[in-house]
Amino acid sequence: MKIFTGAQIKELDKFTIENEPVASIDLMERAAKAIVRALQDEWDNRTPFVVFAGPGNNGGDALAVACLMAEAGYEVSVYLFNVNDRLSAECAINKQRVMDCKRIKDFKEVLVDFDPPKLTAETVVIDGLFGSGLTKALTGGFASLVKYINQSPAKVVSIDLPSGMMTEDNTHNVKAHIVRAHLTLTLQQKKLAMLFEDNQQFIGRLRVLDIRLSPAYIAQTVTQFQVLEEADVRSRLLTRGDFVNKGLMGHALIVAGSYGMAGAAVLAGRACMRSGVGKLTVCTPRQNYNVMQISLPEAILSIGKEEYFFTEPIDTEHYDAVGLGPGMGQHEDTAIALISQIRRTQCPMVIDADALNILASHKAWMQQLPEQLILTPHVGEFDRLGNGGSEGDYDRLAKAIDLAQHLQAYVLLKGHYSALCLPDGRVYFNPTGNAGMATAGSGDVLTGIITGLLARGYNRENACIVGMYLHGLAGDLAAKQLGKESLMAGDIIAYLPKAFEFLG
């Protein structure tokens, strides 16, 4: 699913109107009918509705919804805010329709003074003040209205976007001036702002309503952002021939673990093997020998000279992919060995966990990294990699995009919608996964999966895309059976075969 900017959304509407063809007011009616169906799924006609409509097309949508809801037997009161005495053409048409609708309980056009209605816990507010065209924070009377809505006990449904929210960047927005919706009914496609954790407090539950905007425009328009769909991932899967042998399925190297952190090496190694790789070597300190032999007998062990941590880079000539970092620790000798390992390795590399933290504490090394690395930081690791924290999720994503382009690397920023930032500036968001995966070792599993796919023969982009989707899908399948509260990282590995089967 492509994610369009606010400007592209406007062009999509325009293209649909001109090429379907369909009149703008009829397209608005189409959207209103989809919204009404969604509202009727949630509430019966004993529920009173209060509609707050703005002067633009979002307000026009809200007015159209008000008419349809009233005709369906709902008690509907309407407030149209026209403080500048200037309505969009479609909003003006729907204003007249509201005025002509005998079933509307009450209609008030607010030109100067506003006497707010009483909003009870039984009331549902339809927020149709501002949609995806907003470019600055709300002020004055509209800001006061938003605060009034937010302080009320009423349920709030926002059309397209909660009023006050910008479509993409809300870094410097005034949070108190954004409607806090319980349900957001967005039209056709998700907006970028909806993918960020720090905006969820405003969006509430999200439903995407198909209003049949032009598929031709959607298909031909290039976007920077895209949410992965099952078909996108399935088309990238490699098949396994009947006559292959382990030598043809790739040889991966995982450099992981330190004393007390053998589990990270076990999890990454198991995930790597479950990802279809032919052979796996795990390089880990001597103290982890017994644990690894018992926990992962399928792996070859490369035991370092140091008892407790990684101190010597190893020759990677015979490996097809390398994963570095899980449980490695941050001893200074380990840091020196790590940068040496990165510099001398020619095959694809995944850099994670302590390897990222080492780079964060040796900033000068960041300028010496080879191109085409795969970095898989969570939020904390990414902020440490930079020169300070981020001002929110949008700012962090922007920095991740910049880092991917600057290093010509693949930066996989982990989170609810993990974001894969490609060297060319494009971003893929991953829709799979759940809160149960917020548990120790989950990231180590992802490192193992991607490393295994790389060794198996996937290119870097596809290894990351397939890897993060499978990782989340396995977590979803595990959570369905075990529950989110009880999920452990090992469960993700256990359900990887089912995730492959689901996609295959």
**pLDDT given for residue 133 in this prediction:** 84
**Average pLDDT over the chain, rounded to an integer:** 97
Domain ranges of the chain: 2-223, 230-503
Question: Which CATH number is 2-223 given?
Answer: 3.40.50.10260
CATH number for the domain formed by residue range(s) 230-503: 3.40.1190.20
CA dist 98 and 116 (Å) reads 19
For every residue of 5-29, which 3-state class applies, written as one string?
Answer: CHHHHHHHHHHHHHHCCCCHHHHHH
Reading phi first (left if > 0) and then psi (alpha if -120 to 50, else beta), residue 48 is in: beta
Token pair listed for 16:
């649909």
CA distances from 86 to 39, 80, 370, 413 (A): 29, 11, 57, 44
Annotated binding site: 57-61, 127, 131-137, 160, 163, 264, 327, 378, 414-418, 443-444
pLDDT band at 504 (very low <50, low <70, confident <90, very high): confident
Which residues make beta-bridge pairs with 124?
49, 155
Residue-wise pLDDT for 118-148, tens only, equals 999 999 999 999 999 899 999 999 999 999 9
List residues forming the annotated binding site for (6S)-NADPHX: 57-61, 131-137, 160, 264, 327, 378, 444
Q: How far is CA 238 from CA 241, 454, 500, in A?
A: 10, 11, 11
Query: pLDDT tens digits, residue range 421-479?
Result: 999 999 999 999 999 999 999 999 999 999 999 999 999 999 999 999 999 999 999 99
Sheet strands side by side (includes 419-421)? 2-3, 225-227, 427-429, 419-421, 410-413, 374-375, 349-351, 321-324, 251-255, 279-284, 300-303
**pLDDT for the residue 154:** 98
State yes or no: pLDDT of 388 exceeds 80: no
End-to-end CA distance of the chain: 21
Q: Which residues are annotated as a binding site for K(+)?
A: 58, 127, 163
Q: What is the spatial distance between Cα 378 and Cα 304, in angstroms, rounded to a whole number?
A: 28
- Residue-wise pLDDT tens digits, 66-81: 999 999 999 999 999 9
| Backbone phi, psi, residue 138, to 5° | -70, 145
The pLDDT assigned to 387 comes to 72
Residue 288: which residues within 8 A CB-CB, separation 6 or more? Answer: 257, 258, 259, 262, 265
58-67, 383-392, 468-477: the lowest-pLDDT one? 383-392
User: What average pLDDT does this structure show over 206-233?
Assistant: 97
User: Residues at the annotated binding site for AMP?
Assistant: 414-418, 443
How far apart (Å, rounded) are the C-alpha atoms in residues 372 and 173? 35
How many Cα neighbours within 13 Å face the side chain of 91? Answer: 22
List the structure tokens of 271.
């995930």
pLDDT at 389: 83
Percentage of residues in the chain having pLDDT higher than 90: 98
Report the pLDDT value the prediction gives residue 316, as an integer from 0 to 100.
96
Q: Which among 74, 71, 79, 78 has a CA at the least distance from the CA of 42?
A: 74
Q: 10 Å Cβ neighbour count for 259?
A: 16
Closest of 325, 346, 267 to residue 299, by C-alpha: 267
Share of the chain above pLDDT 70, in %: 100
* Single pTM value for the model: 0.96
- How many angstroms from the chain centroid is the CA of residue 428? 8
Please give the helix or strand (H or E) that residue 187 lies within, else none.
strand 183-187
pLDDT tens digits, one per residue of 235-290: 999 999 999 999 999 999 999 999 999 999 999 999 999 999 999 999 999 999 99
Q: Which of 130, 143, 116 is nearest to 50 (CA)?
A: 116
The residue-averaged pLDDT of 308-335 equals 97
